[in-house]
């Protein structure tokens, strides 16, 4: 099985958690590695923008010397988007329903990110 | 070695296979009366490209003859539908004819015009193939797909290779083109060599040990001659099939040089994160050109955004450096940005933008002032003029695919 196939397997496992709608792995420099987002989403644009978002957030935090960025969470009126580092090269981006228990999602997303880090680094 | 048509005869023109990146590498296509081996790595699927070839030849008026021995006839049609190329019309008009060498395996009766029951006997396969080639050639020039050579090699051994030589002679007589699908795995080196010497044209699909753009297409032989290897990363898109794929071209340059305009001019769809008239995160544009799909990453020009430039520059395959031809004082900044983005040393072109302004420096003056060496292409352009910026993109693509 290819690395991409294995990453997709990790994303499949993540999707079995209640409230998780889709997820994607992108490189920190904005290229799509794997995703299970629906086909009407432009995954490449999504990947570029997610990486840009995390990069900007990290830089902002570093500038004010406020610690190391663990994750970026975006809340909208009907969803949450969580972007977290998956090793030195990749990011895991998870889209969930708005009312999910965040603790469980962060735990599971953290597990998935560790697996992905092991696969790509 | 099969007898080939005399390729030195320049009056013969080549027949395109209809996939621009392949035709480009083959020098325009293949000669009628010759054969193509589509050789794939076990993890890459070659059937999409074959179906694109077939569909293009059918549309151009060829008679398609499709021998299938590893799946049902219905699944070939279905697979073609799945990439948006419907074969049903050609089947109905009798333009696409199947040789079913699959149903017989299970003792099923085939509905196809031709069928082969014994897969292990090269002479009986050959009898059907020769007959089909000759009969179909009476109605037009044939494009034959043999899907797949592996099944025959596994069932008949090397004996099948002698038969291929025989079919190649029939192809010469009738101006047919033969296309063989072949996954290279686990064969003795003498067999692999025998196979590659049998085909005047070889297209390879394989994977590289990297995650991004890891599938590449090369042509290792064209018109019986080994060719310098160019590697084109590719991706399968639905609908459409195989396209050349350059996942990242960095469009960088100083503030207000026109990067956003250029990304939007080139792209079929583009998004920009702009606040108060300037880009604050990046411009992202998707381009379809010359059979390639390219994604453009336009960076922010202002120095205060440089940390993002450093983060997003990675893994680019090439760069477009955009400068405002009226502002030579910013040229040093332009070069600095290339370094910061980590793309120095990659293929790049310089776009000398805003050539429509009266005070614009000429391309030569820009080259001198920037001290850019002669082997780097500088294109004078007007950001909103597609013709001029496409010229820059063309030059960059040529640089990127020559490896």
Give the dihedral sign, CA A12/A14/A18/A20.
Answer: negative
Same domain, B269 and B381: yes
Tell me the two tokens of residue B9.
């005869």
Same domain, B174 and B319: no
Phi-psi region of B217 (alpha: psi -120 to 50; beta: other; left: phi over 0): beta
* Nearest CA-CA distance, residue A96 and chain B, Å: 24
Same domain, B354 and B205: no
Of all residues in chain B, the percent with pLDDT exceeding 90 is: 70
Same domain, B232 and B261: no
Task: Give the C-alpha distances (Å, rounded to integers) separating A93 from A34, B13, B173.
Answer: 11, 51, 59
Cross-chain CB nearest to B282 (options A2, A33, A48): A48
Query: Are residues B259 and B351 in contact, defined by beta-carbon separation less than 8 angstroms?
Result: no
Q: Is B240 at the interface with chain A, CB within 8 A?
A: no
pLDDT at position A29: 87
Domain membership of residue B341 (yes or no) is: yes
* Average per-residue pLDDT for chain A: 91
pLDDT digit string, tens, across residues B35-50: 999 999 988 989 999 9
Domain membership of residue B152 (yes or no) is: yes
Same domain, B84 and B197: yes
Q: Which of B322, B368, B327 minimizes the C-alpha distance to B341?
A: B322
Number of compact structural domains in chain A: 1
pLDDT digit string, tens, across residues B87-111: 999 999 999 999 999 988 888 888 8
Query: What is the extent of the structural domain holding B207?
Result: 20-239
Domain membership of residue B249 (yes or no) is: yes
Same domain, B139 and B279: no
Same domain, B339 and B194: no
Boundary of a domain, candidates B198, B218, B239: B239
Kindly determine whether residue B311 and residue A48, on different chains, have CB atoms separated by under 8 Å. Answer: no
Domain membership of residue B263 (yes or no) is: yes
CATH of the domain at B285: 3.40.50.300
Boundary of a domain, candidates B178, B204, B239: B239
**How many other CB atoms are found less than 10 A from the CB of residue A64?**
7
CATH of the domain at A80: 3.30.450.30
Is the confidence at residue B394, as pLDDT, over 90? Answer: yes
Same domain, B251 and B221: no
* Nearest CA-CA distance, residue A56 and chain B, Å: 6
pLDDT at position B363: 95
Kindly determine whether residue B308 and residue A28, on different chains, have CB atoms separated by under 8 Å. Answer: no
Q: Which of A36, A71, A45 minimizes the C-alpha distance to A57?
A: A71
Kindly determine whether residue B212 and residue A31, on different chains, have CB atoms separated by under 8 Å. Answer: yes
What's the mean pLDDT in A38-51? 82
pLDDT at position B402: 67
Q: Which of B306, B301, B285 minimizes the C-alpha distance to B389?
A: B285
Query: What is the extent of the structural domain holding A84?
Result: 3-120
pLDDT digit string, tens, across residues B302-341: 888 888 888 888 888 899 999 999 999 999 999 999 999 9
Same domain, B154 and B209: yes
Query: Are residues B202 and B217 in contact, defined by beta-carbon separation less than 8 angstroms?
Result: no
Number of compact structural domains in chain B: 2
Give the dihedral sign, CA B76/B79/B85/B89.
Answer: positive
- Report residue B12's pLDDT band, with 50, 70 and 90 as the boundaries: low
* Average per-residue pLDDT for chain B: 90
Chain B residues whose CB is inside 8 A of the A74 CB are none
* Nearest CA-CA distance, residue B284 and chain A, Å: 7
pLDDT at position B356: 96
Boundary of a domain, candidates B239, B265, B299: B239
Query: Are residues B299 and B312 in contact, defined by beta-carbon separation less than 8 angstroms?
Result: yes
Kindly determine whether residue A44 and residue B273, on different chains, have CB atoms separated by under 8 Å. Answer: no
Chain A, nearest residue to B270 by Cα: A45
What's the mean pLDDT in B239-261? 92
Helix, strand, or coil (residue B295): strand
What's the mean pLDDT in B191-201? 94
pLDDT at position B391: 96
Could you tell me the pTM of the whole model? 0.80
In whole angstroms, give the CA distance from residue B94 to residue B254: 60
Q: Which of A110, A118, A78 minimizes the C-alpha distance to A95?
A: A78
Residues 8-67 in A contacting B (C-alpha not used; CB under 8 Å): 27-33, 42, 44-45, 48-49, 51-53, 55-56, 59, 62
């Amino acid at each position: 099985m290819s690395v991409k196939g294995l990453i997709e397997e990790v994303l499949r496992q993540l999707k079995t958690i209640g409230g998780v709608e889709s997820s994607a792995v992108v490189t920190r420099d904005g290229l799509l590695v794997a995703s299970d987002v629906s086909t009407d989403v432009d995954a490449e644009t999504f990947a570029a923008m997610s990486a840009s978002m995390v990069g900007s957030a990290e830089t902002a935090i570093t500038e004010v010397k406020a610690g190391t960025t663990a994750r970026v969470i975006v809340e909208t009126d009907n969803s949450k988007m969580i972007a977290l580092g998956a090793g030195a090269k990749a990011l895991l981006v998870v889209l969930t329903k708005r009312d999910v228990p965040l603790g469980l999602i962060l735990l599971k997303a953290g597990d998935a990110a560790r697996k992905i880090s092991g696969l790509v680094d | 070695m099969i007898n080939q048509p005399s390729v030195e005869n320049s009056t013969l023109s080549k027949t395109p296979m209809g996939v621009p990146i392949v035709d480009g590498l083959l020098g325009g296509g293949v000669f009628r009366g010759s054969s193509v081996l589509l050789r794939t790595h076990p993890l890459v699927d070659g059937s999409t490209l074959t179906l694109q070839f077939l569909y293009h030849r059918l549309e151009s008026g060829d008679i398609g003859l499709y021998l299938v021995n590893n799946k049902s006839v219905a699944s070939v049609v279905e697979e073609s539908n799945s990439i948006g190329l419907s074969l049903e019309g050609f089947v109905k008009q009798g333009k696409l004819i199947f040789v079913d060498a699959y149903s017989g395996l299970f003792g099923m009766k085939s509905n196809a015009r031709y069928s082969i029951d014994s897969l292990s006997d090269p002479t009986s396969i050959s009898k059907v193939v020769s007959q089909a080639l000759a009969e179909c050639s009476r109605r037009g020039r044939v494009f034959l797909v043999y899907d797949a050579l592996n099944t025959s090699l596994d069932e008949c051994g090397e004996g099948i290779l002698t038969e291929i030589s025989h079919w190649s002679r029939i192809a010469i007589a009738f101006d047919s083109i033969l296309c063989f699908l072949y996954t290279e795995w686990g064969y003795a080196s003498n067999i692999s060599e025998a196979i590659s010497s049998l085909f005047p044209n070889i297209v390879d699909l394989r994977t590289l040990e990297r995650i991004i753009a890891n599938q590449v297409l090369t042509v290792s032989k064209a018109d019986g001659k080994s060719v310098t290897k160019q590697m084109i990363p590719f991706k399968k898109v639905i609908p459409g099939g195989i396209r050349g794929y350059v996942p990242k071209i960095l469009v960088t340059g100083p503030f207000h040089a026109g990067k956003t305009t250029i990304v939007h001019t080139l792209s079929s769809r583009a998004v920009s994160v702009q606040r108060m008239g300037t880009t604050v995160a990046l411009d992202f544009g998707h381009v379809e050109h010359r059979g390639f799909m390219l994604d453009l990453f336009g960076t922010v020009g202002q120095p205060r955004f440089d940390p993002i430039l450093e983060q997003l520059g990675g893994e680019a395959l090439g760069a477009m450096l955009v400068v405002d031809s009226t502002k030579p004082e910013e040229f040093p900044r332009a070069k600095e940005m290339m370094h910061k983005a980590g793309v120095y040393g990659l293929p790049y072109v310089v776009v000398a933008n805003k050539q429509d302004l009266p005070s614009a420096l000429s391309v030569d003056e820009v080259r001198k002032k920037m001290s850019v060496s002669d082997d780097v292409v500088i294109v004078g352009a007007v950001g909103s003029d597609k013709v001029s910026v496409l010229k820059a993109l063309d030059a960059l693509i040529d640089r990127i695919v020559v490896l």
